[in-house]
Structure 1
């Protein structure tokens, strides 16, 4: 575990010393801020019509109308952003001809992959922490429910970890960072849209497709419910992605 933490620290230093982190974080915050502002402005306009909504049996709730859709939008933004973070994880090692040294090092390959994963996850965690200014703003302006906010951020972090595991797997397949980013985006997008075919499929296949989809397990988190089955799904997904990476790297060791 010490070796994994050391590699994670090395990855973090590399990110913070690279312009990629600052460019990606700026784009992420700019897109999220615009979406948050749009939802907040819409909520403000609807607040003036609150009596009409009450007559229709609807109650304006800042969690439901601002925070929940903001976090849902964040998960979409990360779908585009995370492949840019993970593309260098192993592809850069191959491009710089340091991959053979990595394979022959005394550090176990599982620890190397875990370190790469933790490094990328910490980078995303920093980005999520920076985005929490929106929650602080709403806490000052209103009185939202804290539970759904915390569970929503936990769900986003778990989903981002799934993205990262797929991104590192894609990075292990090639020595070209651009190709790694494109493959990673394709994998992640596929796991997003796989549930779209559930309605046209049979009941059993449709239920399976819904379960496999990354999106379907996010809904309960956004509503303030932490379901153990959803947590188990995300953790299993992460483990499977890292296992695939391990198998690819191990096959290169003996090729």
Structure 2
């Protein structure tokens, strides 16, 4: 089933790190993380100064609510923008250059190739998130940080990013053009992001279903430091579904020769 996995995985990592797109995306992601972190901390300092004159306000002040949660929500929006850039070449470039036909002739199963390509971009996501750890370490040094809640938020952001990547890999398999793949990915992700906005005009049953489909709603609990098995299950099902449709798309290329 996983024959040829490591060769494809190493190739994907090489192509990612050899591309200027990775360095541009990493630079933008980390700069924005630094900006959001600084803004959140500056706001926390301002509110703390005001709370020093108001005991009731001081009791309500929480670094998780004022700094960490807004920071992770901002990073989730950044991932919405950068995920299509990281996944757009995964299959689209293979089809454009004709190497996808070569991939079919190698002793590599379609499933192994898909998992290797997905884990390649997921490794990049993990590296980007690891780049934000120094800011969290600094915050933990300066304040009494709830690390369990922080790790929960990181897990949620990682699962959210993995879901983004799974959909992005699928859209990349639909076309030979990387730009079209990125646009399709962003449009689909944006739809899953805003789909819950329709819930206010639907009936109770349909409203609950639409809200469940919202990809960002399931991240909300993680950002609060709450681990909910229903949210984890949602992301795993989301990833598995796009794995399935991507494999069906790749198999269709075999049928068409």
Aligned residues: 255
2:78 corresponds in structure 1 to 77
Q: What is the TM-score when the length of structure 1 is the normalising length?
A: 0.96
2:225 corresponds in structure 1 to 224
**Maintained 8 Å contact 2:92/2:181:** yes
1:54 corresponds in structure 2 to 55
1:161 is aligned to 2:162: yes
Relative to structure 1, the CA distance from residue 14 to residue 51 in structure 2 (aligned partners, 3 Å threshold; closer, same or farther) is same
Aligned alpha-carbon RMSD (Å): 1.3
Structure 1, unaligned stretches of length 5 or more? Answer: none
State the distance in 2 between where 1:27 and 1:41 align.
Answer: 21
Question: Does 142-151 or 2-11 show the bigger shift?
Answer: 2-11
**Maintained 8 Å contact 1:53/1:60:** no
Q: Deviations over 1:31-70 (max 9, x none)?
A: 1211111111111111101145533585211111001110
1:32 is aligned to 2:33: yes
Structure 2, unaligned stretches of length 5 or more? Answer: none
Relative to structure 1, the CA distance from residue 9 to residue 183 in structure 2 (aligned partners, 3 Å threshold; closer, same or farther) is same
Pairwise CA distance, 1:8? 1.9
State the distance in 1 between where 2:8 and 2:106 align.
Answer: 13
1:184 corresponds in structure 2 to 185
Secondary structure, counterpart of 2:60 in structure 1: coil
Q: Deviations over 1:174-197 (max 9, x none)?
A: 000011000000111111001111
2:194 corresponds in structure 1 to 193
State the distance in 1 between where 2:158 and 2:200 align.
Answer: 28
Q: What is the TM-score when the length of structure 2 is the normalising length?
A: 0.96
Secondary structure, counterpart of 2:131 in structure 1: helix
**Maintained 8 Å contact 2:95/2:176:** yes
1:41 corresponds in structure 2 to 42
Pairwise CA distance, 1:2? 5.9
2:242 corresponds in structure 1 to 241
1:67 is aligned to 2:68: yes
Relative to structure 1, the CA distance from residue 53 to residue 39 in structure 2 (aligned partners, 3 Å threshold; closer, same or farther) is farther
Pairwise CA distance, 1:162? 0.4
Pairwise CA distance, 1:106? 2.1
User: Which portions of structure 1, spanning 4 or more consecutive aligned residues, are displaced by more than 4 angstroms?
Assistant: none
**Maintained 8 Å contact 2:4/2:107:** no
1:124 corresponds in structure 2 to 125
Q: Deviations over 1:226-252 (max 9, x none)?
A: 111111110010000111111111111
